[in-house]
Structure 1
Amino acid sequence: MFIPKIYKSDDQELMKKIISENAFALLISDKEKLSATHSMFLSNDNGKDFFLETHISKANFQARTLKDGDEVLCDFLGAHSYISSSWYEKTNVSTWNYEAVQIRGKVKVMTDEELYRHLEKLTFKYEKIQRCPMFVENMGDEFVKKEMKGTFGINIYPTEIFIANKLSQNRNDGDFENIILNLGQSDSANDKKIAELMGENRGLI
């Protein structure tokens, strides 16, 4: 992913936030043929190594072809909004503001024990906010292990990380404030989120 220097970030906490809030992302590989699967990701930082976790169905083509050491690309798209050139003081082109993370990395196939722990963590993340949460430990080992037979889990160890944080950093104060004003008047949650992020980024909030 090409990112102009002005929009490129090295902020690891921002990266983890984008991944956590936009965890249903694309797992892309070109083993035998170009393939992409939307799957649920977790980021894992054990204090020594940062890596991603995900799982897909064993019936998936990627599950049948990916092996230890194969390269994949993980694509996370955060908040994003169209920015109209009509909001600028002078004639210019329209554009798109967005947050995104792409991670290129090497695959390590999970053991059954690692897959079980992965499913525990993933389920806990989304069930803990439910009125009557259904955690893995509530399902019974026999049921979970039966379901695991159809599941392919992988860890992905990054070789390259790209963090894009495009929030109109190149615009003067007048244009910047007008963009925020127009986005804030939109009914779109994405537009409002980008307006909020722009304000935080320039210290207006």
Structure 2
Amino acid sequence: MYTPSSFKFNDEERIIDFVRKHSFGIFFSESEGRPEATHLPFMIRRTDNGNLQLIAHFARANKHWQRIDPNKEVLVVFHGPHAYISPAWYKEQQTVPTWNYSAVHITGTATIIHEKDTLRNMVVDLMHLHETESDGNWDPESGAETTEKLLGGITGMIIDVNHIEGKLKFNQNRSEEDQLGVINNLDEKKAPSVKEMMTELRNQRT
């Protein structure tokens, strides 16, 4: 990923937190010279030996999983807050529009999981995670019978992470006045999450 030094985002723990907050990613692999992509919810975890893994599952009917080569690297892309930035918001207006955005790219090797107990644990962990984050009150254990029936319709995947890189492009290369101009114009209607992230980055520098 092209990332000028002003926008580099390398802190591993912050990247893990980013992935947890923006966990719906795009999984890319290559088969017979052609790229293929599937949109999937992911979990990220650290193993007992300190390595990172991404956990996901496919609908079994999605044949993408059959074309994954365990000897080739795969890529998962996670997107965070983003927004159009007007040059009218800068103090110095002799410039052009841009787009502020955040992203994390993770590469690794994928292992396909068919073993039923492992699949069940993966799915239940994912449900618990998102029920907690959504303030839902549904207990995955209450749907255990239905979950058990549906396990035959999915295929699991574990990605052993080889490399992570992050990018936070939020006008860090511009003056303090220009950054404040952007923050002040990103109101609650336009892009509240971008405004929040820019304010956080600015506070970290002061």
What is the TM-score when the length of structure 1 is the normalising length?
Answer: 0.89
Tell me if the contact between 1:18 and 1:99 (Cα under 8 Å) persists in the aligned partners: no
Deviation of 1:15 (Å): 1.0
Residue 182 (structure 1) aligns with: 185
Q: 2:138 aligns with which of 125, 133, 137?
A: 133
Residue 195 (structure 1) aligns with: 195
Residue 176 (structure 2) aligns with: 173
Deviation of 1:154 (Å): 0.6
Deviation larger for 10-19 or 173-182: 10-19
Residue 118 (structure 1) aligns with: 122
Deviation of 1:130 (Å): 4.7
Kindly report the root-mean-square deviation, in angstroms, between the aligned alpha carbons of the 2 structures: 1.9
Deviation of 1:76 (Å): 0.4
Deviation of 1:174 (Å): 1.1
Matches within 5 A, 1:21-40: 21-32=21-32, 33-40=34-41
Residue 54 (structure 1) aligns with: 56
Distance 1:156 1:133 in 2: 28
Look up the equivalent residue of 1:35 and give its one-letter code: E
The runs of 5 or more residues in structure 2 that have no matched partner are none
Residue 105 (structure 2) aligns with: 102
Tell me if the contact between 1:26 and 1:75 (Cα under 8 Å) persists in the aligned partners: yes
Deviation larger for 58-67 or 147-156: 58-67
Matched residue SS, 2:3 = coil
- Matched length: 200
Deviation of 1:163 (Å): 0.4
Deviations 1:128-169 (A, max 9, x none): 34554131x2223x5433311111111111222110011211
Deviation of 1:68 (Å): 3.0
How high is the sequence identity, in percent, across the aligned residues?
29
Look up the equivalent residue of 2:147 and give its one-letter code: V
Tell me if the contact between 1:23 and 1:76 (Cα under 8 Å) persists in the aligned partners: yes
Distance 1:201 1:72 in 2: 30
Deviation larger for 73-82 or 111-120: 111-120
Distance 1:69 1:127 in 2: 35
Look up the equivalent residue of 2:47 and give its one-letter code: N
What is the TM-score when the length of structure 2 is the normalising length?
Answer: 0.89
